[in-house]
Structure 1
Amino acid sequence: MTEVRTAEADPPWEGLQGNDLYAACMRAARAGDRVAMDRLVAELTPLVWHVARANGLDRHTAEDVVQTVWLALFSHLDQLHEPRALAGWLITTARREAQRPYGRKTPPVPLTEEMAERVESTQPAPEAEAVRTDRDNRMWRAFLNLPQNCQDLLRLTVLAGRAEYHSVAEALRIPRGSIGPTRRRCLTRLRTLFEAEGGSQ
């Protein structure tokens, strides 16, 4: 009896990692496999998100960029000739989209005093939130002052356990052996810039 194999029960990307995983999912997605599409989104959305946020976008606008990038990919799957170059394509596309003049802002819903009294806050105390926001802003300013190659490298390697060094090297077109030393230099430079912004370790 012939064994029936489905992409969901026995996916071709089973056991693969990094660019091999992305390439297998890309090939399956081109054949219409929605499970493969979902796997790509789950694996690589953090990367697209980091690129958008690193370009200074707020959370709402960054979400728009993430959605736009995935729509662009799935609308033109056949135009990406080298599936193993997917991570690099996402970095380039996300950076380009993030630099568009996104002017749409969602106006906040007014909160009356009566409503505020009835709603139990789950947010941190204002003082703690102010400290956290200030720290995050300093870190983003320091990050944006890094050279572009450092920004790209840190965005990819921040996906610990997902983006292996060989995937990062292929996406950025640099020797695999240089990833570790370059990353350490970038982190040292980021720490220096952060401290210059008034931050602390």
Structure 2
Amino acid sequence: MSNPADQLYERLLVLRFQAGDEVAFAELVARYAPRLRYFLRKLLGDHHAAEDALQEAWLDVTRSISRLGDAGAFAAWVYRIARDRASRRLRRKGRVVATIDGEGPACEPSDDDPLLSAERAEAIHAALDRLSPEHREALVLRFLEGMSYEDMSRVVGRPTGTVRSRLHYARRALRDALEREGITP
């Protein structure tokens, strides 16, 4: 969300939600739920677990929204809550969400390339699913969610340099996985 007017509107939604406005909360849910669902699905590997974690995350958001000091930090804050919920679920199963330790997407889409249709997108998502949790998390936050390194750092609780480094290795792992499938990034 790079549009300044959209950023301002979202800050206002957060402030209204903090003041108890349920309509503002519903709009924030509508804006974030699909992306959070995808993020959780990539972390948990299970649609049903992702749905449950998403509901738990929204409950956590409603309980603690008053403690959010900067309305502009809502995106990183809500992703951090969702990530924490995923981590709890994975710990109960004996697995953990690894933390995130190049610029531009690992695979640059082209509108005039007919091969980048559903088949190529499916191959990219399948390759993404085969990556380690830390690499999936890095790629999803940066390239699918468009987060800055600083926001990613807030979400995963690691220094920005670590985030950059892990993202570099994640891009390399995705490129290698795609090349093994015969897809040139």
TM-score with structure 1 setting the length: 0.56
2:2 is equivalent to residue 22 of structure 1 = no
Equivalence for 2:83? 95
- Unaligned runs of at least 5 residues, structure 1: 1-14, 105-132
What percentage of aligned pairs have identical amino acids?
Answer: 23
Where do 1:153-164 residues align within 5 Å?
Answer: 154-159=140-145
Are the structure 2 counterparts of residues 141 and 56 from structure 1 closer, same or farther at C-alpha, using a change threshold of 3 Å? farther
- Computed over aligned residues only, the root mean square deviation of the Cα atoms, in angstroms, reads 3.6
2:148 is equivalent to residue 168 of structure 1 = yes
Displacement of 1:134 after TM fit?
A: 9.2
- Aligned to 1:17, what secondary structure does the other structure show? helix
Equivalent residue in structure 1 for 2:25, among 10, 33, 37 = 37
Where do 1:57-96 residues align within 5 Å?
Answer: 57-96=45-84
Q: Give the total of aligned pairs.
A: 143
- Preserved contact between residue 88 and residue 171 of structure 1 (Cα < 8 Å): yes
Equivalence for 1:191? 175
2:16 aligned partner, one-letter code: A
Are the structure 2 counterparts of residues 156 and 26 from structure 1 closer, same or farther at C-alpha, using a change threshold of 3 Å? farther
Higher relative helix content? 2
Where do 1:123-134 residues align within 5 Å?
Answer: none
- Aligned to 1:55, what secondary structure does the other structure show? helix
- Preserved contact between residue 40 and residue 50 of structure 2 (Cα < 8 Å): yes
- Unaligned runs of at least 5 residues, structure 2: 94-121, 154-159
Q: 2 CA distance for matches of 1:137 and 1:62?
A: 17
Q: 2 CA distance for matches of 1:40 and 1:171?
A: 18
- Preserved contact between residue 47 and residue 155 of structure 1 (Cα < 8 Å): no
Q: 1 CA distance for matches of 2:132 and 2:33?
A: 20
Equivalence for 1:139? 128
Q: 1 CA distance for matches of 2:123 and 2:142?
A: 25
Larger radius of gyration: 1
